[in-house]
Amino acid sequence: MHNDNIFRVTLDIHANIIDFGDGACAISGYSSSDVMGKNWFEIFIPEEDLDEIMVVFKSFLKGDLSFWEYENEITCKDGSTQLIQWKNFLRRDAKSEPIAIYSEGSIV
């Protein structure tokens, strides 16, 4: 079962897309094969927001969980933008090292 209204994406610690859900496809216009393995920031983050979002990403990886809820615009395949309200989850390995960020978002 999937929900086309929920944008689900998982990024590795380098911001490469390692999972891209059905809702992410429906909202963004990209297919999973369009984006898998590619850098999230290069595809989805508008240039004017890039510095701010990079700080949020790096801070979250370092354990600043104040960013577990966050809102930002993404650029869709057709060039339009969508404002997404995110809930972010830090995934860690057995040694407690960060390995990925799993995010669920909905259109605001």
Degrees (nearest 5) of the Cα angle 11, 56, 47?
Answer: 85
Contact 21, 9 (CB under 8 A): yes
- What is the model's pTM? 0.93
pLDDT for residue 4: 73
Contact 97, 79 (CB under 8 A): no
Contact 27, 82 (CB under 8 A): yes
pLDDT for residue 65: 83
Q: What does the block give as tokens for 99?
A: 């390995």
Q: What is the pLDDT along the chain (108 residues), one digit of tens a residue?
A: 456 789 999 999 999 999 999 999 999 999 999 999 999 999 999 999 999 999 999 999 998 888 889 999 999 999 999 999 999 999 999 999 999 999 999 999
pLDDT for residue 30: 98
